[in-house]
Amino acid sequence: MPTATDSPRHEHLVIERLVFWYFAAALGYMLISMVAGIIMGLQLLSWNPLPALEHLSPGRWRMVHTNAIAYGFLANGFLGMLHWVVPRLSLRPVLDKRLSYFIFAAWQIVVLSTAVGLILGEAQGLEWGETPVWIDPLAQVGLLLVAFDFGYPIIKVKGPMYVTLWYFLAALVWTFLTYAMGNFIPQYCVSGSAAGAVGGLFIHDLVGLFVTPLGWGMMYYFVPILLKRPMWSHGLSLVGFWGLAFFYPLQGIHHFLYTPIPMFLQYGAVLSTIALEFVVLTVIINFVGTLRGTGMACLSNLPLRYFYTGITFYFLTCLQCALQTTMTFQALIHFTDWVVGHAHMVMFGVFSMWQLGMMVYLVPRLLKTEWYSEKWCYWHYWASAGGLCVMAGDLILGGLFQGWSWAALQPWEKSIEVSIPFWAVRIAAGAVMFWAQLLFAYNLFKTWQKSPLRTGEETLPHVAPATM
Amino acid sequence: MTTPTVIQRVPLWTWIVGAAVLIPSILGFANKFLDLMIVAAGDEEGAFALTPIINYLLATAGFFCMLMWAVTQGAFHDINQPSRQMFQNELDLERRTAESLGPRA
């Protein structure tokens, strides 16, 4: 691990402007995704506001909703975060700053082209990989460039690496391979159940090998800094990393229980899912152990509050995962809204909360000024976390009612009738979450407006790490 | 003057726990690997199961090699050192940034 004493300064390492651009783009896509989600929610209540427009039909909006959150919000947020964290940890800048600007522009073109392709009905037949086939090669090259840009400073590190860099290095390789596996193998190489099996691997590996390592790597960096103490145990951190590396890749088949895929593969996925829960437990213990002796820091410090809320949701989702992959439980919840609730808890409750918390921490440092309204940041936290609790709880409960309805062999219409109240609550919770993100985006805009970077003040103040 | 090398003995319970975890795991893996061989050698329809298995083995083999590389590089000798070093580096970067930018607004 290098030392900072004879290394470049922060301003030579981090392209702060680019980090901010990524965050602004991420929030833009988050709002687009949530508009699409709300329209889809209204459709379920038979209140589709765009009934006569084929290009804006619910099936297409739904894909815009999922793709905008994965490739628009999360990917942009993570790329911004990587531009801050990797150079500071490795004490080396990225491979080439011009390449970084090019990647930013290229990635926005990829995401916008995906949205246009989906609305024009050119989706690829792969869940979470609906990116039109003509965009796939571009996205693949983009991911390769990302791997070069951030991989270079990481592999230059001499000596033992901090766990965050292990996670990031793995994520750079995994994301490239996962994208290739999901978007090319079922499209061009295999078909039928084999393609289904690969599709299952892709869905889960996208969460586990792209989003998870970047998310946890981010937590292992920001939490010790905000708590002003190293992680409780770096050894346990490494157990978490290597456990993820060996157990995660086999899990994807658990999306296809009770299918023609051979039972030994299905049981393998069930076992590796349950085994991973033990690994997750070590990670949670480590983060709780790091809190020991800090009093109520995880409540009084707002970014930490976002982080630990996400960690709690992560534990809950993994526990849920270990339960719902058992064959008995799966028989009840398969195809129900339970799965939708679970997915929202993962993507919003965990990874979006982490990214939003990171933005709450970094934006004042990037813009060299405090937030325009700290109170609005608190409102954002409560509306986001509270809205998600209601939405996820509502969908999970509604999913159980749907499952019991089907198990009782009631007519399909009955399960719809049962679902209507749950879908109504879901749209109300979603509206609260959407309002929170609008408030956050407006707060960011007003903060940018008062930034000395924009007003052209000559002396820039140093904004210390957030403690609000 | 050279200091004598202290060889720490592995406690008995470590061996017992290790055996309790490894023996059933190895047996389970061997059993499932046999299943895989039977499927691979059997009818054509069952052989498609090889695709995800090969995917998994390729990914795992890569990370097993990386794990071995990390071991040979001494990544696990002083296991908490990278954590302490990272924390110290951050403090140094913060201090230098504060010095270069002046007092807080």
Is residue A56 pLDDT above 90, yes or no?
Answer: no
Surface-to-core class of residue A188, CB atoms within 10 Å of its CB (0-12 exposed, 13-18 middle, 19+ buried): exposed
What are B60's two structure tokens? 């795992």
Mutate to test the interface with A, among B83, B85, B88 (most CBs of A within 10 A): B83
The pLDDT of A421-447, averaged and rounded, is 97
Average pLDDT over residues A182-208: 84
pLDDT above 50 for B58? yes
CA distance A349 to A389: 8
pLDDT in tens, B64-86: 888 888 888 788 888 888 999 99
Measuring CA to CA, which residue among A187, A57, A190, A69 is closest to residue A135?
Answer: A187
Query: What confidence tens digit (pLDDT) does each residue in A90-119 have?
Result: 999 999 999 999 999 999 999 999 999 999
Mutation target for A interface from B21, B36, B55: give the one with most A CBs within 10 A.
B55
Output the CA–CA distances (angstroms, integers) from residue B85 to A34, A90, A227, B79, in the order listed: 41, 11, 16, 11
Q: How far is A195 from chain B (nearest CA, A)?
A: 9
Tell me whether residue A136 is in a domain: yes
Distance CA A209, CA A276 (A): 13
ipTM exceeds 0.90, yes or no: no
Alpha helical stretches, state H, chain B: 12-41, 50-72, 81-101
pLDDT of residue B8: 60
Residue A222 lies in a domain: no
B4 touching chain A per CB within 8 A: no
State what percent of residues in chain A have pLDDT above 70: 96
**Which among A5, A91, A224 has the least Cβ separation from residue B87?**
A224
Q: Is B62 exposed, middle or buried (0-12, 13-18, 19+ CB in 10 A)?
A: middle
pLDDT at position A204 over 90: no
Residue-wise pLDDT tens digits, A345-390: 999 999 999 999 999 999 999 999 999 999 999 999 999 999 999 9
Residue B101 has pLDDT above 70, yes or no: no
Number of domains within chain A: 1
pLDDT for residue B1 is more than 60: no
| Nearest Cβ partner for B63 among A91, A245, A262 | A245
Q: Considering the domain boundaries, does residue A289 fall inside one?
A: no
Could B74 and A160 be called an inter-chain contact, meaning their C-beta atoms sit closer than 8 Å? Answer: yes
Dist. CA A235–CA B15, nearest whole Å: 20
Across the interface, whether the CB atoms of A197 and B52 are under 8 A apart is answered yes
User: Which chain B positions have a beta carbon within 8 Å of A249's beta carbon?
Assistant: 55-56, 59-60
Residue A438 and residue A431: Cα distance in Å, rounded?
Answer: 10
8 Å CB contact between A208 and A264: no
Does residue A307 lie in a domain region? Answer: no
A38: in domain = yes
- Distance separating alpha carbons of residues A292 and A222, to the nearest angstrom: 17
pLDDT, average across residues A175-187: 90
Task: Tell me the residue type at A421.
Answer: P
Range of lowest pLDDT (A95-109, A155-169, A204-218, B36-50) = B36-50
- Residues with Cβ within 8 Å of residue A314, at least 6 apart in sequence: A280, A284, A346, A350
Task: Look at B105 and A190 and tell me if their CB atoms are within 8 Å.
Answer: no
Would you call B101 an interface residue with chain A, using a CB distance cutoff of 8 Å?
Answer: yes
In this structure, is residue A443 part of a structural domain? no
**Cβ contacts (< 8 Å) between B104 and chain A: which residues?**
461-464
Q: What's the token pair of residue A226? A: 């905000």
Closest CA of chain B from A376, distance in Å: 21
Residue with token string 């509604």: A398
pLDDT digits (tens, 9 = 90+) for A272-325: 888 888 889 999 999 999 998 887 888 899 999 999 999 999 999 998 988 888
- The beta-carbon contacts of A93-97 under 8 Å, at least 24 apart in sequence, are A93/A8, A93/A12, A93/A13, A93/A153, A94/A15, A94/A149, A94/A150, A94/A152, A94/A153, A95/A148, A95/A149, A95/A150, A95/A151, A95/A152, A95/A153, A96/A149, A97/A15
Residue of A nearest to B67 (CA): A242
Question: Is B63 close to A462, i.e. CB distance below 8 A?
Answer: no
Place B105 in a pLDDT band, splitting at 50, 70 and 90: very low
What integer pLDDT is reported at residue A464 of this predicted model? 55
Range of the domain at A69: 14-159
pLDDT of residue A258: 85
Let me know if residue A432 belongs to a domain: no
Flag whether A242 is in a domain: no
Nearest to B89 among A3, A249, A461 (CB): A3
User: Residue B35's pLDDT is what?
Assistant: 76
| Mean of all residue pLDDT scores within chain A | 91
Identify the CA nearest to A150 among candidates A167, A126, A169, A177.
Answer: A169
- Nearest one of A179, A152, A180, A178 to A165, comparing CA atoms: A152
Contact at 8 Å (CB) between B47 and A192? Answer: no
Work out the pLDDT band at A231, boundaries 50, 70, 90. Answer: very high
Determine the residue among A264, A366, A453 to mutate to test chain B binding: the one whose Cβ has the most chain B Cβ atoms within 10 Å. A264
